[in-house]
Amino acid sequence: MLWSDPKNEPPKELRDTQDMLRRLGVLMALAMVLAMLVLGVR
């Protein structure tokens, strides 16, 4: 890998989509934990 090689970065749209999916995954995990807690209390 040379210093003159172009950076291997995905385009902005792809990065935004990956960020959104990452946040959605975290949100889904928290929702699952909350649902388990609520169902476990009953």
Please state, in angstroms and rounded to a whole number, the distance separating the CA atoms of residues 33 and 42: 15
Domain residue extents for the chain: 12-41
The closest alpha carbon to 37, from 29, 14, 2, belongs to 29
The confidence score (pLDDT) of residue 2 equals 60
Overall average pLDDT of the 19-35 stretch:
97
| Cβ contact 4:12 at 8 Å | no
Q: What pTM was computed for the model?
A: 0.61
For the record, the structure tokens of 24 come out as: 């959605």
Three-state secondary structure string covering 1-42: CCCCCCCCCCCHHHHHHHHHHHHHHHHHHHHHHHHHHHHHHC
Model confidence at 41, in pLDDT bands (50, 70, 90)?
Answer: confident
Model confidence at 27, in pLDDT bands (50, 70, 90)?
Answer: very high
